């Protein structure tokens, strides 16, 4: 395979894996949110915010995918010459956000569902409840940073 | 169903748990001047159905139905909840056998909401079609029926069916992969065996009778418990202390109502960890048991008010709440 294929695979992996994780996480949290709102619609805004937390990994993956596509010229319409070594480097650079995004979004989804349980019983503890799933975000942000630094730092 | 399949249901249960009666709400109910004001208090708290008659028993029946209706709305597969209805199912079988053998079936004696309707249960017993019952009921049903029909021994009929009910709960607990069902089965066996030992001791039953009535379980050495029951209540208390059931022994020493309270409170202690479980069927089962416990406690208060019991006598019988 030529370098451009590996680079595109990297962009796809970043978007697909983190998107899958976010879809699962937001889905699980959404089920919990629906359960609470079916009994107490007044908690809609609070549970919606918590439900959205696992969605960020998908955005991070999209961001890295955009950076990669931009770097190899796919977005501008002029595809750059990418050697096999560079293509592989770009592919590996995209993996952190893809893999960590997938895993962290799944775990953030289950943590968010548990946090929604706190809001259901003690809505005044919303701030604390939000912190638990937010902690999982740390590792997605770290992976995002690594991917961005790596993708932008690879010489063409 | 996997644990994550219950996410929606558990979150909904969390929202519903807010409206469970706490100890302080029960104190307010207890402080009501009379039965009528206690019923009004319940209606103000959303209990009962405004379209139905508002007597205490109807309100409690409505609340029980509401609980099961909510669970049925949330869960498509009701199999994990079957174990909770085994005792009611066997009670219905007992009522049907006694009704058929004495030509006097009383519909008021049956529990609703079991997997076999009261009418169907009576039909099965009348036609001796015991193979239509679940497998764990068949043999006991036939044996209890024959015992009552030919021997006219109502007590033995009760013992056969009560033991079969406990064995069914024990087997369900052993087969289940769900922690709370295992814990529930274990607790129920312990409580039932201790209750049976105390009852047998007070009515001076023989060892043979106890062997027929009690069921082996992990937490208790049933042989020792039976021997203690033959010696007297003091020996039962000593054995319970030795087996790690000091609270049960103390309650037994205090009064019958304190002991009954301990039995129910132990079940609530068993399910209490489910308050912190965000997934699985556990919180749903815990909610059903918590509601049953809540309804039982409200019934105790209403009955006390209706009969003019003093507050202290009612308070002594009040159970611990789940929330």
User: What average pLDDT is seen over chain B?
Assistant: 91
CATH of the domain at B42: 1.10.132.50
> Which residues of chain A make contact with B7, given a CB cutoff of 8 A?
28, 31-32, 35, 113
Instruction: Provide the pLDDT for residue A156.
Output: 82
d(CA B87, CA B161): 9
Q: Which of B284, B244, B292 is nearest to B268 (CA)?
A: B292
Interface residues on B facing A, Cβ-Cβ cutoff 8 A: 4, 7-18, 74, 278-279
pLDDT number for residue B122? 92
Is the pLDDT at B111 greater than 90, yes or no? no
Are both B166 and B229 inside the same structural domain?
no
Average confidence (pLDDT) over B156-177 = 92
* Same domain flag for B152 and B186: no
Label residue A1 by pLDDT band (50, 70, 90).
Answer: low
CB B271 within 8 A of CB B180: yes
Residues B221 and B263 in one domain: yes
Q: What is the pLDDT of residue B230?
A: 94
- Quick check: B12 and A31 CB within 8 A? no
Q: Do the Cβ atoms of A31 and B16 come within 8 Å?
A: no
pLDDT value of residue A89: 97
Task: Inform me whether the pLDDT recorded for B169 exceeds 90.
Answer: yes
Best residue in A33, A35, A51 for a mutation probing chain B (most B CBs within 10 Å) = A35
* Domain that includes residue A116, residue range: 3-153
Tell me what the mean pLDDT of segment B66-72 comes to.
92
Split into its structural domains, chain A has a count of 1
Of the residues B175, B206, B231, the one at which a domain ends: B175
Average pLDDT over residues B8-35: 94
**How distant is the Cα of A136 from the closest Cα of chain B, in angstroms?**
17
- The pLDDT, as a whole number, for residue B253 is 80
- CA dist., res. B7 & res. A35, Å (int): 8
**What is the nearest CA distance from A110 to chain B, expressed in angstroms?**
8
What CATH number did the domain enclosing A48 receive?
A: 1.20.120.610
Q: How many domains does chain B have?
A: 3
**pLDDT at position B177 over 70:** yes
Of B7, B16, B74, the CB nearest to A32: B7
pLDDT at B9: 95
Helix residue ranges, H only, B106-232:
118-126, 135-146, 154-175, 179-202, 207-213, 222-231
Q: Which of B148, B175, B202 marks a domain boundary? A: B175
In DSSP notation, B208-251 reads: HHHHHH----SSS-HHHHHHHHHH-HHHHHHHHHHTT-HHHHHH
Q: Closest to B278 (Cβ–Cβ): which among A33, A34, A117?
A: A117
pLDDT value of position B139:
93
Are B148 and B139 in contact by the 8 Å Cβ rule? The answer is no
Q: Show the domain range for B104.
A: 79-175
pLDDT (tens digit per residue) in A53-105? 999 999 999 999 999 999 999 988 888 899 999 999 999 999 999 999 999 99
pLDDT band at B54, cuts 50/70/90? confident
CA-based nearest residue to A36, from B224, B185, B9, B272:
B9
What average pLDDT does the structure give for chain A?
96
Task: Report the chain A residue with the minimal C-alpha distance to residue B74.
Answer: A35
Q: DSSP of A73-124, one letter per residue?
A: TTTTT-PPP--HHHHHHHHHHHHHHHHHHHHHHHHHHHHHHHHHHHHHH-GG
pLDDT (mean) for B301-313: 92
* pLDDT of A126 strictly over 90: yes
Written as six digits, the tokens of A142 are 């770290």
The pLDDT assigned to B154 comes to 86
Q: What is the mean pLDDT of residues B294-315?
A: 93
Same structural domain for residues B71 and B120? no
Q: Cβ atoms within 10 A of the Cβ of B196, count?
A: 24
Residue partners of B292: CB distance under 8 A and separation at least 6: B64, B67
Tell me, yes or no, whether B66 and B86 share the same domain.
Answer: no
Instruction: For chain A, state the CA radius of gyration.
Output: 18
- In whole angstroms, give the CA distance from residue B93 to residue B145: 10
């Amino acid at each position: 395979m030529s370098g451009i294929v590996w680079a595109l695979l990297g962009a796809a992996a970043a978007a697909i894996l983190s998107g899958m994780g976010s879809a699962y996480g937001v889905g699980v949290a959404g089920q919990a949110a629906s359960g609470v709102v079916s009994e107490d619609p007044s908690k809609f805004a609070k549970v919606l915010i918590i439900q959205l937390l696992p969605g960020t990994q998908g955005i991070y993956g999209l961001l890295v995918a955009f950076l990669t596509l931009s770097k190899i010229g796919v977005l501008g319409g002029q595809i750059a010459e990418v050697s096999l070594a560079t293509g592989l480097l770009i592919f590996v650079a995209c993996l952190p956000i893809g893999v960590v995004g997938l895993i962290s979004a799944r775990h953030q989804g289950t943590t968010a569902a548990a946090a929604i349980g706190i809001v259901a019983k003690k809505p005044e503890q919303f701030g604390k409840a939000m912190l638990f799933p937010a902690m999982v975000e740390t590792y997605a942000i770290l992976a995002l940073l690594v991917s961005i630094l790596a993708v932008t730092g690879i010489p063409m | 169903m996997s644990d994550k399949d219950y996410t929606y249901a558990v979150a909904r249960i969390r929202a519903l748990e807010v409206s469970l009666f706490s100890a302080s709400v029960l104190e307010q109910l207890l402080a009501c001047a009379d039965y009528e004001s206690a019923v009004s208090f319940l209606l103000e708290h959303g209990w009962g159905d405004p379209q139905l008659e508002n007597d205490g028993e109807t309100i409690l029946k409505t609340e029980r139905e509401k609980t099961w209706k909510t669970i049925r709305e949330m869960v498509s597969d009701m199999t994990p909840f079957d174990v909770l209805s085994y005792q009611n199912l066997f009670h219905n079988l007992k009522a049907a056998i006694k009704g058929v053998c004495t030509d006097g079936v009383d519909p008021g004696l049956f529990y609703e909401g079991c997997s076999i309707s009261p009418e169907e249960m009576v039909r099965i017993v009348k036609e001796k079609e015991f193979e239509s019952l679940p497998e764990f009921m068949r043999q006991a049903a036939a044996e209890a029926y024959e015992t009552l029909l030919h021997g006219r021994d109502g007590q033995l009929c009760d013992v056969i069916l009560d033991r079969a009910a406990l064995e069914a709960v024990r087997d369900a607990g052993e087969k289940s992969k769900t922690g709370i069902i295992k814990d529930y089965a274990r607790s129920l066996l312990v409580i039932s065996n201790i209750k049976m030992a105390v009852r047998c001791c007070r009515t001076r039953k023989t060892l043979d009778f106890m062997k027929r009535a009690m069921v082996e379980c992990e937490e208790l050495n049933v042989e020792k418990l039976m021997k203690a029951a033959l010696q007297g209540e003091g020996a039962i208390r000593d054995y319970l202390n030795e087996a790690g059931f000091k609270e049960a022994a103390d309650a037994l020493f205090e009064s019958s109502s304190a002991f009954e309270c301990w039995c129910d409170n132990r079940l609530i202690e068993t399910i209490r960890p489910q308050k912190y479980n965000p997934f699985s069927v556990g919180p749903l089962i815990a909610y059903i048991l918590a509601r049953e416990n809540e309804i039982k406690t409200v019934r105790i208060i209403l009955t006390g008010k209706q009969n003019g019991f003093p507050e202290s006598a009612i308070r002594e019988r009040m159970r611990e709440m789940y929330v």
